[in-house]
Amino acid sequence: MLPRPVALNCLARTCCINAANTARSMQQPGLTFVLAPALRFLYPDRGARERAFARYGGHSNTHAFMIPLYAGILLSLEAQIARGSLPESAVHSVRDTLATTLSALGDSFFSGTLRPLWALSSISLLLSGHIVLTAVLTAALLLLVWLFRAITFFAGLRHGMSVLLKLKRLDLINWGDTLKMINAALVALILWQLTPTSAMPFPWLAYGLATSALLVTAWLVGRMHLPRILLWALTLGMLILMDEGLIGM
């Protein structure tokens, strides 16, 4: 294990991973910045240190929320290389595959599920006038994400590649599928909340229409591959026109 100050320095630097992106190497400058304190500690010999930095001179890109785990696993491998337990080529054989795997997981769970859950929940709460509750929800989710980042970083640093088996047992993909169903229900709820009260004599009819619209939208996105943002913009525009009395039902 690295000394605690060095490990915490690397963890703090993961927040800056996207501050130095390039079109060619993507996150490579940021990743080098993240790993730099540990590499300087692990390789006091200048030649070995230069070779270590050179191992991260190519393209690198993964999901921002998975960077702490990614960096922790890489540093675990580097610690074994520094001890002579692994050859220097060990990093090259796993780095790209690991980045792609973690990126797919992060895109599916965090960007594709958790962020929309927070956004939809916040919109629904704000439409209901619960401003303080929205702030509490945002702070709680932010804290959970930070805990996830810290825990996965130190897990990767301590256990290396074997931590991926523990991550698999969390079953984030299936959790994501469950949360996406909740997101769908939240979309229907928001459509109901946005529907002007004067548009329908019975609000449950509006709710039923909103749910039907959601199912049709899901079919259009899944089968016709229409952009979701376009369908959402059309729906929001219709509701604004209804609210202004330009169209009615």
Report pLDDT for 61. Answer: 84
Q: Are 137 and 122 in contact (CB under 8 A)?
A: yes
Q: What is the pLDDT of residues 42-76, one digit of tens each?
A: 999 899 889 989 888 888 888 888 999 999 999 99
Residue with token string 């690295």 = 2
Q: What is the pLDDT of residues 142-156, one digit of tens each?
A: 999 999 999 999 999
> With bands split at pLDDT 50, 70 and 90, how would you rate the model's confidence at 207?
low
Q: If you average pLDDT over every residue of the chain, what do you get?
A: 83
Report pLDDT for 247. Answer: 66
The number of helices, as runs of H, and strands, as runs of E, in the chain is 11, 0
Average pLDDT over residues 95-114: 84
**Backbone φ and ψ of 26, nearest 5°:** 55, -115
Q: What is the pLDDT of residues 30-45, one digit of tens each?
A: 889 999 999 999 999 8
3-state secondary structure of 60: strand
Other CB atoms within 10 A of residue 90 CB: 16
Q: Give the CA angle between residues 225, 229, 230 to the nearest 5°.
A: 75
3-state secondary structure of 61: coil
Report pLDDT for 35. Answer: 92
Report pLDDT for 203. Answer: 61
Q: What is the pLDDT of residues 154-179, one digit of tens each?
A: 999 998 888 888 888 777 777 777 78
